[in-house]
Amino acid sequence: MLKSWLQVFIRNLKKRPLYPIINTVGLTIGITCFVLVSLYVSKEWSYEKWNPNKNQIYKAAFAFDNGEVWYNTP
């Protein structure tokens, strides 16, 4: 079965040599994006987990009269 798949692949590669390159590049870009997003999410979720006093960490916020809240203060 593997031999027949290889024959079909080689035959299609000879007929249309650009299609396997497009598929390989697309797969590579997709896997790269997935890995980068996974690393970013992992980093964001693990923020401040190393700190033994993480229950005592507070975030400064500024609340406006209209209900809007800003978490970055000067």
Determine, yes or no, domain membership for 22. Answer: yes
- Higher-confidence residue of 34 and 57: namely 34
Determine, yes or no, domain membership for 58. Answer: no
So what's the pLDDT on residue 5? 92
Determine, yes or no, domain membership for 32. Answer: yes
So what's the pLDDT on residue 9? 87
β-bridge pairing 69-70 and 62-63: antiparallel
Cα separation, 18 vs 15, in Å, equals 9
Please give the residue range of the domain that contains residue 25: 7-43
Determine, yes or no, domain membership for 62. Answer: no
pLDDT band of residue 73 (cuts 50, 70, 90) is: low
Total structural domains within the chain: 1
CA angle 26, 30, 31 (to 5 degrees): 120
The tens digit of pLDDT for each residue in 10-41 reads 998 899 989 989 999 999 999 999 999 999 99
